[in-house]
Amino acid sequence: MLKLSLILSFIFIQSLSAFSAIVGIVDSGVDYQHVMLESLMWQNPGEIPGNRRDDDNNKYRDDVYGWNVPGENGEVINYKYLDTFTDKPFRYLELQTKKIIGTITQAEETEMEALRADPDFIKEMGIFGNFAHGTHVSGIVSQFLNTSELMAVKLLPTEPGELQGLLRWVYNESMKVQEIYAGKDYAGVKKSVIKEKKMKVRDTLMRKAFDMLAELQTGMLESAFSYVGTQEVRVVNGSFGTSYHAIKKITDLVYLVLFQKKPNDEQSLKTASIFFKMQLNKLSSVLNKYPNTLFVFAAGNDGSNNDIYPASPANVNLPNVITVGATIDYVKLAKFSNFGEKLVDLAAPGVGIVSSVPTGTHSDVIQMSGTSMAAPFVTGVAARIVEENPELTSEQVKEILIGTIDSKENLNGKLKHAGIVNDRRAIVAARLSQNVSVENAIARAQSSTSDKVPQIEVIEKDEENEQLLGSEFNLIDLSPEEEKELEKSVREMVDNLKKKE
Ligand SMILES: [Ca+2]
Ligand SMILES: [Ca+2]
């Protein structure tokens, strides 16, 4: 009896002194006043707000709830956008869920199409998406936490202006190449030799340009992660990325300027892959600096295979990185979700997820869909695992997440581990790991905890030909107008180059 009561009191004390992990939300900003989040926000204890001073000497002025990377200040959300939105984004996202699970009516379908065709709505939705994204993600993480805290790191998309600068650089360099080879020194040299030399220089220029683009993005992420690195952050959620389809627009334009013709599909993929290889190498060396932090990344919302069409940071392949696809509840992979047997680790629910929306001191919620919503599910569970057993390494936390999934046959060949994260089983395994090996804890949790029962019935429709996009947070996000503008200036550059040829 004595022994038992000792064990009980030991467990009791342990749960009282539960470890508090810090979770970094690297995203579009967090409404730290939201009722769901307010009490969970990390607050820098040594920082006095609003005095324009770095009171705790961590090199960041007024960083109370976290850091705004592009703004270089402590404003982790731009509250000026509050109350500037109509009800339309709420309605649209509601219709989107119905569409994905197949319960949408004909009238609702028509309503959705009308919204999509309205340029004002598309504009509003874009701004709303960026404004609300990080708060929604935070709410999803928060539901799993007991004692952990949320740190907000605000990261914004690359400005189109920077891309203009990059393309201008490529053009100027290309002009130099033209002029060198147009010089009289080469009068006696064979045309084919000159052509070959030009191609080589262009290839070098392309690599240089992509290196600059990769550096631009990595620099931004490095700033975000190095802020997170100043604190003991155990888990970071990264529901953002650069997809193949987004980068292709830029890399194709670089190709067009240099080679003065549009690349075909094969050349496009080859060209974009050069960029991704550089970008992923750079990111790997950044993330390698924080082995005690688990980075959870969204797989992307293009419905494509990351093993073939790269995505970043999703495709960073390290022991302290986990990449997440999105499922409809505990049923199957959502059509919009990226997948990849080699590079997408597992999946989590990411359709029609109800969570906090910025309202400032209110408790409003909204539903959103995307791998952006699946990643924070995993982040929340990971933080909870750390709360249960702070001694676990990042690799062991990942091992528990993977080892306790609900296996699904319909995910075979789509994911590295064909299953959906089971929060209950993962938490049981984490608790058991205090006393037995991780491997043993996983095995015991498997036999004691059942699979989750799906709560949603998915209605299959064959007419699905469109790509349903989830809510995403793109690092390169050009509006259709900006895209046209960029393309136009590239065309002008190419015409100029051709004249000189
Ligand atoms: Ca400070
Ligand atoms: Ca201060």
Residue 157 CA, ligand 1 centroid: distance in Å: 24
Q: What is the pLDDT of residues 24-74, one digit of tens each?
A: 999 999 999 999 999 999 999 999 999 999 999 999 999 999 999 988 999
Maximum CA extent, the chain = 100
Residue 56 CA, ligand 2 centroid: distance in Å: 8
Residue 52 CA, ligand 2 centroid: distance in Å: 5
CA distances to 88, 194, 256, 269, 427 from 9, in Å: 53, 82, 70, 60, 20
Residue 494 CA, ligand 1 centroid: distance in Å: 48
Residue type, 331: V
Q: Which residues 6+ apart lie within 8 Å of 307 measured at CB?
A: 340, 341, 342, 343
Domain 19-500 falls in which CATH fold? Answer: Rossmann fold (3.40.50)
Residue 66 CA, ligand 1 centroid: distance in Å: 9
φ, ψ of residue 97 to 5 degrees: the values are: -60, -45
Q: How far apart are the first and last CA of the chain?
A: 93
Which ligand is nearest to the Cα of residue 56, counting in written order? Answer: 1
Q: Which residues 6+ apart lie within 8 Å of 129 measured at CB?
A: 89, 471, 472, 473
Residue 69 CA, ligand 1 centroid: distance in Å: 14
pLDDT value at 415 more than 70: yes
Which ligand is nearest to the Cα of residue 230, counting in written order? Answer: 1
Which ligand is nearest to the Cα of residue 44, counting in written order? Answer: 1
Q: What is the pLDDT of residue 472?
A: 62
Which ligand is nearest to the Cα of residue 52, counting in written order? Answer: 2
What pTM, to 2 d.p., does this model score? Answer: 0.92
pLDDT value at 178 more than 60: yes
Residue 361 CA, ligand 2 centroid: distance in Å: 23
pLDDT value at 465 more than 60: no
* Higher-scoring residue by pLDDT: 254, 157: 254
The H-or-E segment that residue 237 falls in is strand 233-238
15 pLDDT band (50/70/90 cuts)? very low
Q: What is the mean pLDDT of the chain?
A: 89
Q: What is the pLDDT of residues 279-304, one digit of tens each?
A: 999 999 999 999 999 999 999 999 99
Residue of 313, 287, 290 whose CA lies nearest to 234: 290
Residue of 404, 410, 236 whose CA lies nearest to 328: 410
Residue 306 CA, ligand 1 centroid: distance in Å: 39
Per-residue buried b or exposed e for 239-266, using 16+ beta carbons within 10 Å of the residue's own CB: bbbbbbbbbbbbbbbbbbbbbeeebeee
Residue 294 CA, ligand 2 centroid: distance in Å: 29
- Let me know: does 225 contact 287? Beta carbons within 8 Å: yes
